[in-house]
Chain A
């Protein structure tokens, strides 16, 4: 479903991604872990062509992104949803308009149908009744959940989550984990999730990959991660300050 081959990217003359290879099969959720600033968000931005690779290719739905023209690229993107790290809610629109924008711009659904879908998605993320409010009036965690509702509004086949549970209290975070698992199980969503939250990673992931120094240094099932002998991986999942990685 998603195939990344030899992806390299430098930003400001610093190599962020260095020949990264990753595959995500249909219906699978891949969790990408890695230290802050290691390039996880940059990796996600390449998956839907928001950033252009210096070298390497990204293929989704069997189509290589750099060979698509804008119209076809947009068609593919409509089948995907993205939760941005900062939410990226449109602050000139209400929460409901945010969630419904993809539907009202890209489909011929009526206002009432869109309102129904929007209400349903907001309920899924625990924000029922928040629709008429402005994004700037919401708390950080509410914004994140509103952004999640927007990401899944168009019944996407692929969802990219950038830190879905950051900034949420443990109980809400657990609810979001459940939602992500439910999307995977019921709707067969293919997903890449970036997270620092190992509890969430183990819960939502079928597979976990670790990005370090521009490379994927580990890629395996949840059990393989737990039993990995790689000292870097072990230190990361244990959150230890001693080991090959310096805490700061």
Chain B
């Protein structure tokens, strides 16, 4: 009976480097260091040394014949594009299933409320802490830049705008990404590797409806609430600095806040918060669903969830800004 083919070892799959070693040896240009250390190295042009790679390989690509490393470079770019495409494709499919499950939201109201409570309780203390200091430091920095140029009664105006439009939504989102996004990815990732998601599937319970929809809905609804808290606490933090350190009266500072305060700024901040909330939970869920390979895999998807969500938050913040605020 034929034995199934075994996966080829890593060395065999990356012959490029061996070929380079031989080429170099033939050309008489090889140094012992390069010959010894390039065999297990996967991507010779990478400028970031990786733990298993010897520093020698960082130098190697510049000596390598152009064609071999170029081929491997193109191959690697191709692999990355492919992986990205698969990721975005999978995410799109999940969003599709999520939208399809939205009509059942009322039947899952209990799950949504539970997620909202967890999300709020988990992140509120940290958000209050970060917001106080965000407000405080922005008041201090604004005062530093105002001195001798801008009257201090505008301090509240500057701080208020910055907090409501940018600081509170973005910093809250980053905190929640680290707190809630990570725990969603870890929880669902564990469920994936212990077959609990498979178990839902075979019980006829759609995991997207049961696990993803409540979390994403709760993200969309709860983030604006958290950002409102953050707005308030940050402005209080700024007020404390204004009164105690800049020696402004509380009334002057608060009048400054009110001076050019537009409700539309507030709405924009809350709208952004909602989008960020969706991004955080969606990426957390998707990372969790994608998890492979035991506890280590769970760790990987958790870190990935925080990194990807944070990057997407900052990018979408810029995109939303250009759409909502005309210069």
Bound Cα distance A101, B191 (Å): 16
Q: Which of B76-84, B167-175, B192-200 contacts A (4 or more CB under 8 A)?
A: B192-200
Q: Is the CB of A77 within 8 A of B202?
A: yes
Q: Is the CB of B7 within 8 A of A13?
A: yes
Chain A residues within 8 Å of B187, by CB: 92
Q: Return the chain B residue nearest A74 by Cβ.
A: B204
Shortest Cβ distance from A85 into B: residue? B195
* Chain A residue with Cβ nearest B205: A105
**Proximity string of chain B (218-260) to chain A, C-beta cutoff 8 Å, 1 when within and 0 when not:** 0000000000000000000000000000000000000000000
A90 contacts B by Cβ under 8 Å: yes
Query: Per a CB cutoff under 8 Å, which of A14, A78, A89, A102 touches B4?
Result: A14
**Complex CA distance for A12 and B5, rounded to whole angstroms:** 11
A78 vs B205: C-alpha distance when bound (angstroms): 9
A215 adjacent to B6 (CB under 8 Å) = no
- The smallest C-beta distance from B59 to any residue of chain A, in angstroms, reads 34
CB distance from B302 to the nearest CB of A (A): 17
Nearest to A79 among chain B residues (CB) is B204
Residues of the B chain whose Cβ atoms lie less than 8 Å from the Cβ of A80: 202
User: Counting CB contacts under 8 A, is A88 at the interface?
Assistant: yes
Give the residues from 21 to 71 in chain A that come closer than 8 angstroms, CB to CB, to chain B.
Answer: 45, 48, 50, 70
- Find out whether the CB atom of B201 lies under 8 angstroms from the CB atom of A89: no
Give the docked Cα–Cα distance between A74 and B204 (Å).
Answer: 5
B203 touches A214 (CB 8 A): no
Bound complex: CA A20 to CA B3 (Å): 16
In angstroms, Cα B187 to Cα A16, docked, is 29
Contacts of B201 in A (CB 8 A): 48, 50, 77
Q: Counting CB contacts under 8 A, is A213 at the interface?
A: yes
A128, CB-defined interface residue at 8 Å: no
A105 touching B4 in the complex, CB below 8 Å, given contacts A84-B195, A84-B198, A88-B195: no
Instruction: Please report which residues of chain B, range 1-30, place their CB below 8 angstroms from some CB of chain A when the two chains form the complex.
Output: 1-7
Q: Which residues of B contact A88 (CB under 8 A)?
A: 194-196, 198-199
Q: Are A12 and B199 in contact (CB under 8 A)?
A: no
A95–B198 Cα distance when bound, in Å, is 18
Contact B199–A213 (Cβ < 8 Å) = no
CB neighbours of A81 from chain B (8 A):
202
A230 in the interface (beta carbon within 8 A): no
Q: Using A74-B204, A88-B198 as known contacts, say yes or no to A215 and B5 having CB atoms under 8 A apart.
A: no
Complex CA gap A89/B187 in Å reads 14
A75 close to B (CB within 8 Å): yes
A86 within 8 A of B: yes
Contacts of B190 in A (CB 8 A): 91
In whole angstroms, how far apart are the Cα atoms of A86 and B210 in the complex?
21
Ordered by A's residue number, 19 sampled pairs between the chains whose C-beta atoms are within 8 Å are A12-B7, A14-B5, A15-B4, A18-B4, A75-B204, A80-B202, A81-B202, A84-B195, A86-B194, A86-B195, A88-B194, A90-B200, A91-B190, A91-B194, A105-B205, A105-B210, A106-B205, A150-B199, A212-B1
Given contacts A91-B194, A102-B205, 13 further A-B pairs with CB under 8 A are A13-B5, A15-B4, A15-B5, A45-B198, A77-B202, A77-B203, A80-B202, A84-B195, A84-B199, A88-B194, A91-B190, A105-B210, A154-B203
Q: Lowest 9 CB-CB distances: which A-B pairs, in order?
A: A78-B204, A88-B195, A15-B4, A88-B199, A102-B203, A74-B204, A77-B204, A82-B202, A105-B205
